[in-house]
Amino acid sequence: MDSEAIISVRDLVVGFSDQIVLDHLSLDVRRGEILGLVGASGGGKSVLLRAIIGLLAKRDGRISLFGTDRDIAAPETMQAIERRCGVLFQQGALFSSLNTRQNVEFPMREYLHLSERLRGEVALTKLGMVGISTEDAEKFPAELSGGMTKRAALARALALDPELVFLDEPTSGLDPIAAGDFDTLIETLQRTLGLTVFMVTHDLDSLYAICNRIAVLIDGKIIVQGPIDMILACEHPWVKAYFRGKRTREKAPVLGQPAH
Amino acid sequence: MQPLESAVSGRDLDITLSGSWTAAHTRVLEPLVEAAVREARDRHLRLDMHAVTEIDTFGACLVERLACSNSTGIEAEPVGIPERMRGLLAEVGRVSRAAQPLPPKKKASFAGIESIGRATINAGRDLVVFIEMLGELGDALLRVLRDPRRLRPISLIYQLDRVGLQAIPIIFLITFLIGGIISQQGIFHFRRFGAGDYAVDLVGILVLREIGVLIVAIMVAGRSGSSYTAELGSMKMREEIDALYTMGLDPVEVLLLPRVVALICALPALTFFGSISALFGGGLVEWFYGGMSPAIYIERLKDAVSITHFEVGIVKAPFMALVIGIVACSEGLRVKGSAESLGLQTTTSVVKSIFLVVVLDGLFAMFFAGIGM
């Protein structure tokens, strides 16, 4: 595997007023891997994600995407880089005035010169991949269920075939079967398109099934990162409670060999 | 070398794909694919993909279009797919096979005719909904009359207060101003041929027969009709109306009947007060602008109008109230899940009820002319 770092975060400090959320945090995401970020609820996972995407201002540190530093890059360069990223927001963030298909078509319409027919076909294909039927594609976000909104939002995040995808709790709100399909889909796309995935998740199944590496965020720092075996071997009390707690069932022994 | 090369041999069509099949190249690729699809119509298709260097979902969709092009229904199985592209192509193939065909695009030339047709059908449906609602209200009213304990006095009085009592100040103000304006215009224009005094007749007849009830009905449609629609609509959105059903209660009887009855009671009263206020406004203008003392104004008014004029006006009020109430309630019950639909139905409710009030007024005018009132 190519180990070039697509995302490189160094000594990142992010805070709100007098509260420091991320404290000199460093993290690398390598090309072609699926990195799962775990941490306590309210522990700053989404803050890290938003800081990397550029939605939150940082106080200190350096963030580079595709080897380009956000602070020194020209706005046009950053825009071109943002095109290579797809983001799935926690609540979906679909545009309510467009129907589901139009939501997926929207980024294609803005950035690509496609015939209308191909645009429609690709949009329906992406929606089909996430399990939304042609019929449901004509519905408006208000008419979709929570799980369907999430799937539609993933389809939109994947609209431009991005190289790097940020997923904020992608499988929450999906039933276990759909969540499993979702994992498989992320894996398929990751393999075929050389996708790099940065995902914030609480879903242990996804962590075990598809993540190449896992990073654990506690007290504003990444305390451990590596393959699942390494995380399971970690003796930090929070990590132990998370991966070997009541809700983990009998996973650990099976997981000796990760999927790839 | 072209990204798509085709060679015909008898009933077979060999297509070789190469290069990069990505979104950036679709402008070149799509026409080639379309040409190949036409060629492949009744031939057996063989797809060779070993020379494809990169592919994304856009390219995969085009390949899928090629593979499904055969009219015999047999799909071509691409050969030589590089290992790392298999997953994506299989996924795109699976999805496109599972998908229903796209709904046919509407022909633009018929869009106008279609919208006329739809509007006609909708108007017909609106009429049916209106009559249905009238029937349901009548049914509920009969039930309540047969068993007066089912009447909801608190709800009725609360609604009467809202649409009647609380509306009085604004109704007074508006009709007062309208009466004054009519009077001023009458004096100004009639004075030129020495008939300034006839402005009193103008104000009296116009206000009592038409303007009083019309202005009040329009005000009520905008004020109370819209609030009925928004109220019932948000109840519908939050499943409150469904909750009533499950408790074995009829929403028409519980929610709609008190509202509509309150409107039917309030509108004639408001019309009466509004008309008086308009006559008062007219009188003030006559006094200060036309120089006619109040005593003479009242005297002339007595000569100019009869009880018939008043009756013609007031008799229309309950019917207009019924129209406003039915439109407001049925539009409210049509609200669907989104906030947008609530706004839309509220607008529709006001526009429709004002329109119907004016139409009704016209019908009454014809009716009264017919019976000589």
pLDDT in tens, A237-250: 888 888 877 666 55
Between these two residues, B70 and B42, which has the higher pLDDT value? B42
Across A14-53, b (16+ Cβ under 10 Å) vs e yields: bbeeeeebbeebebbbbbbbbbbbbbeeebbbbbbbbbbb
CA B197 to chain centre: 46
Contacts of B338 in chain A (CB under 8 A): 96, 140, 142-143
Average pLDDT over residues A101-123: 84
pLDDT at A140: 84
pLDDT at B101: 63
Query: Closest-CA residue in chain B for A128?
Result: B95
Residue A1 has pLDDT above 50, yes or no: no
Q: Is the dihedral of CA A155, A160, A165, A168 positive or negative?
A: negative
> What is d(CA B244, CA B332) in angstroms, rounded to the nearest whole number?
16
- Chains A, B: CB pairs < 8 Å: 85
Q: A47-70: per-residue pLDDT in tens?
A: 888 888 888 888 888 888 888 887
Report CA-CA distances (Å) from B80 to A190, B13, B46, B337.
21, 16, 11, 50
pLDDT at B105: 61
> Sorting pLDDT into bands at 50, 70 and 90, what band is B100?
low
Query: Closest-CA residue in chain B for A137?
Result: B102
pLDDT > 90 fraction of chain A, expressed in percent and rounded: 0
Q: Is B53 on the interface with A (CB under 8 A)?
A: no
> What is d(CA A47, CA A76) in angstroms, rounded to the nearest whole number?
25
> Sorting pLDDT into bands at 50, 70 and 90, what band is B317?
very high
Average pLDDT over residues B180-205: 91
Residue A2 has pLDDT above 60, yes or no: no
**A47 in a structural domain:** no
- Of A141-150, B133-142, B193-202, the range with the lowest mean pLDDT is A141-150
Domain limits, chain B? 4-98, 124-370
Task: For residue B100, give the nearest of A112, A135, A160 by CB distance.
Answer: A135
Query: Closest-CA residue in chain B for A144?
Result: B337
Residue A257 has pLDDT above 50, yes or no: no
Enter the DSSP assignment of B22: S
Contact flag B102-A135 (C-beta cutoff 8 Å): no
Average pLDDT over residues B267-283: 95
Average pLDDT over residues B343-368: 94
Between these two residues, A169 and A248, which has the higher pLDDT value? A169
Contact residues for A68 (Cβ-Cβ < 8 A; gap 6+): A77, A78, A81
Q: Is B20 on the interface with A (CB under 8 A)?
A: no
pLDDT at B36: 82
Contact flag B338-A122 (C-beta cutoff 8 Å): no
Between these two residues, A173 and A73, which has the higher pLDDT value? A73
pLDDT > 70 fraction of chain A, expressed in percent and rounded: 92
Residue B241 has pLDDT above 80, yes or no: yes
Enter the DSSP assignment of A244: S
Residue B279 has pLDDT above 80, yes or no: yes
* Most B CBs within 10 Å, among A1, A119, A121, to test the B interface: A121
pLDDT at A154: 84
Contact flag A128-B95 (C-beta cutoff 8 Å): yes
**A259 in a structural domain:** no
Q: What are phi and psi of B17, to 5 degrees?
A: -100, 145
> Sorting pLDDT into bands at 50, 70 and 90, what band is A260?
very low
State the total domains in chain A.
1
How close, in Å, is residue B96 to chain A by CA atoms?
6
pLDDT at B73: 58
Q: B47-85: per-residue pLDDT in tens?
A: 888 888 888 888 888 888 888 776 555 667 777 777 777
Let me know: does B46 contact B13? Beta carbons within 8 Å.
yes
- Of B10-19, B91-100, B318-327, the range with the lowest mean pLDDT is B91-100
Helices B307-333 + B339-370 axis angle, to 10: 150
Contact flag B23-A161 (C-beta cutoff 8 Å): yes
Contact flag A96-B340 (C-beta cutoff 8 Å): yes
Contact flag A160-B100 (C-beta cutoff 8 Å): no
The CATH architecture one would assign to domain B4-98 is 2-Layer Sandwich (3.30)
Q: Is A116 on the interface with B (CB under 8 A)?
A: no
Identity of the amino acid at B87: G
Task: For residue B26, give the nearest of A114, A126, A185 by CB distance.
Answer: A114
The parent domain of residue A104 ranges over 94-161
> Sorting pLDDT into bands at 50, 70 and 90, what band is A46?
confident
Let me know: does A73 contact A125? Beta carbons within 8 Å.
no
Residue A223 has pLDDT above 70, yes or no: yes
> What is d(CA A119, CA B26) in angstroms, rounded to the nearest whole number?
10
Query: Closest-CA residue in chain B for A193?
Result: B56
Residue B247 has pLDDT above 60, yes or no: yes
Number of Cβ within 10 Å of residue B9's Cβ equals: 10
Residue A256 has pLDDT above 60, yes or no: no
Residue B195 has pLDDT above 60, yes or no: yes
Tell me the β-bridge partners of A60.
A13
**A168 in a structural domain:** no
> What is d(CA B37, CA B31) in angstroms, rounded to the nearest whole number?
10
**A148 in a structural domain:** yes
Work out the mean pLDDT of chain A and round it to a whole number: 81
Q: Is B344 on the interface with A (CB under 8 A)?
A: no
pLDDT at B174: 96
Q: Is A98 on the interface with B (CB under 8 A)?
A: no
Residue A255 has pLDDT above 70, yes or no: no
Contact flag B99-A133 (C-beta cutoff 8 Å): yes
